[in-house]
Amino acid sequence: MSTTYVQPLPDVQGRMSYTEFGGGKKRREHIANGTNRIVAQYGDMPSRGEFVAYCKENKLVHPNALNEGFELRVSWATDELDPNNPDDIQRGMEHAYLLCHELAPDSPCWVTMHTDGDGGCVHAHATIVNHDVRTGLAINKGDTSLYAPRVQAVNDELSRANGLQVLGADKSHTTWEERSATLDAKSFDRHLGDKIAFARDNADSMEAFKKNLEYAGVTLTETAKTDKKTGEVTTGWSYKAKDVWGPKMRTRKRRASKLCDEFTKDGIEAYFEEKQAQAEEQAQKAPTEPEVVAAVPEDVPQDVRTHQPPEPEPIPAVPEPDTPQEDFHVYEPSADDVSDMAGDLRRAYVRHCEGKGQNYMDDTYHRFVSVQADPHDAWLELHAEVARAREEFHRTKAELDAVKQQRKDFAVGMAIFRAVNRKSQSPMARMMADMYAMMFQQMMQAKREEAERKLYERRKAMWDAEKALKNELKRGEIGYKPHELPESLKRITEGYGRSDDDKSLGDW
């Protein structure tokens, strides 16, 4: 772990002299003995003297500049960089040099390494010239700002990239599953986070996520902030909802970063990007029909082998005169139609049995003969089946309409129930009221789904009966005798057809 400190230098030569010999008694001893305190050094000039001269000349060119340069001090703990290990010292020097060029890419620098501090730790004195070679301007503004928080942030980022430790608790990219395990089950943060997680997991896009938040009673607020020092623009999210679990019901909000990293703007966007990528990958992995290639003998000449017959032109599709709505009308059968169909079935059955070498003179064959000779009873059975299926459908639809009306009355009652219990001052009373409301709502939902399921089954049975009747009468309609039908079937043969309302479940 490393710490940073930034210091402006009006006189680079004086500071470079200190980093070479020290101060006071230590300085006099080094000069008398011909030694210095430098453990290692590296820079963008051939020597320390030339670097100092460059800083002075640059100040003469820009007389209005207040500082000749800036110094960054970077210090590491002894358990991270060993002061007795040359490799650790080299590693620290390289880190300090890279840090200078991350902060001011186009400014020369010089790094001096020491290990003789009070704590005996490895530390670097990195001096940066107050001059941008590319622009010719002074640094410490805009992209070359040496504002202390920016310096520390860049240092931490570089430390992570180089495998070094970061001072303090590192920014943890937590998930909601990990974060929720540390929260009280009755806390506001826990309930708010669960709502956000549910809205995210049940959405396929950012728009659907925001819509789910609205349904859950959570308000998403986006705030843009601009750093006055660096000019960097950051966008933050916050969530707001009513706290019905606390001692006093009120509206509270939380920053997304305080809940967990998954709920921040970047976290949510990354979630949906990954979800979209997974969907595209699954679509690509979907099995496709293999291409069938005809086998060509090897002795066939190449020109013949490559010749392909012209593809036939597609035949344009001609729509049938019967529309789906007409297909499900009630048809008027005749005895002759039933007789003809029975004859066709008898002949098909005979061919089927002869193909298998079986005797076709069985009960099924005699049944076809009987129906062909006297089709009146079979004709009435088909009409009765259609009538029965229609009666079942209309009865089930009436039951569903009754459930819908009950649900409307129930919704009004539950609204009154919640409004009355919401005024209670006890959190337990409000919790029980919400639980009862949810329980009753689930019961009504189950009842409605059961009624809809029965309605779909009755409709399918009705349509199957009508299709069977249509298939047998497809070849044309012949006159019939309505007076021979019972009263329950006369309304069908008189042209009774399903209306559009019979085909719909209605608006819920």
Tell me how far apart the alpha carbons of residues 52 and 44 are, in angstroms, rounded to a whole number.
Answer: 12
DSSP state at residue 329? S
Tell me how far apart the alpha carbons of residues 268 and 274 are, in angstroms, rounded to a whole number.
Answer: 10
Tokens of 138: 């002074």
What average pLDDT score do residues 112-121 get? Answer: 88
The band of 492, judged by pLDDT with boundaries at 50, 70 and 90, is: very low
Contact criterion met (CB below 8 Å) for 5 and 123: no
Contact criterion met (CB below 8 Å) for 128 and 103: yes
Tell me how far apart the alpha carbons of residues 286 and 280 are, in angstroms, rounded to a whole number.
Answer: 10
Map residue 483 onto helix, strand or coil.
helix
The secondary structure of the chain in percent helix, strand, coil, rounded to multiples of 5, reads 55, 10, 35
**CB-based burial of residue 127 (10 Å sphere; 0-12 exposed, 13-18 middle, 19+ buried)?**
buried
pLDDT digits (tens, 9 = 90+) for 205-244: 999 999 999 999 999 999 988 766 556 778 889 999 998 8
More confident residue, 251 or 465: 251
The band of 128, judged by pLDDT with boundaries at 50, 70 and 90, is: very high
More confident residue, 217 or 345: 217
> DSSP string spanning 400-469?
HHHHHHHHHHHHHHHHHHHHHHHT-S-HHHHHHHHHHHHHHHHHHHHHHHHHHHHHHHHHHHHHHHHHHH
Tokens of 273: 């990007």
Tell me how far apart the alpha carbons of residues 180 and 443 are, in angstroms, rounded to a whole number.
Answer: 30
**CB-based burial of residue 271 (10 Å sphere; 0-12 exposed, 13-18 middle, 19+ buried)?**
middle
pLDDT for the residue 385: 73
pLDDT for the residue 421: 61
Sorted by sequence, the CB contacts under 8 Å of residue 217 that are 6+ apart come out as 195, 241, 242
- For the cut 50, the answer to whether the pLDDT of residue 146 exceeds it is yes
The band of 502, judged by pLDDT with boundaries at 50, 70 and 90, is: very low
CA neighbours closer than 13 Å in the CB half-sphere of residue 331: 26
Tell me how far apart the alpha carbons of residues 421 and 429 are, in angstroms, rounded to a whole number.
Answer: 7
pLDDT digits (tens, 9 = 90+) for 278-321: 888 888 876 655 554 444 455 545 544 444 555 555 555 454 44
Tell me how far apart the alpha carbons of residues 127 and 56 are, in angstroms, rounded to a whole number.
Answer: 13
State the CB neighbour count (10 A cutoff) for residue 245.
17
Contact criterion met (CB below 8 Å) for 129 and 58: yes
- For the cut 60, the answer to whether the pLDDT of residue 507 exceeds it is no
- Amino acid in position 73: R
The band of 4, judged by pLDDT with boundaries at 50, 70 and 90, is: very high
Cα–Cα nearest to 38, from 87, 100, 96, 93: 93
Tell me how far apart the alpha carbons of residues 38 and 100 are, in angstroms, rounded to a whole number.
Answer: 19
- What average pLDDT does the chain have? 77
Map residue 143 onto helix, strand or coil.
helix
Tell me how far apart the alpha carbons of residues 415 and 181 are, in angstroms, rounded to a whole number.
Answer: 34
Strand residues in 150-293 grouped as ranges (E) = 219-226, 233-243, 250-255
For the chain, give the percent of residues with pLDDT over 70. Answer: 71
What average pLDDT score do residues 473-492 get? Answer: 47
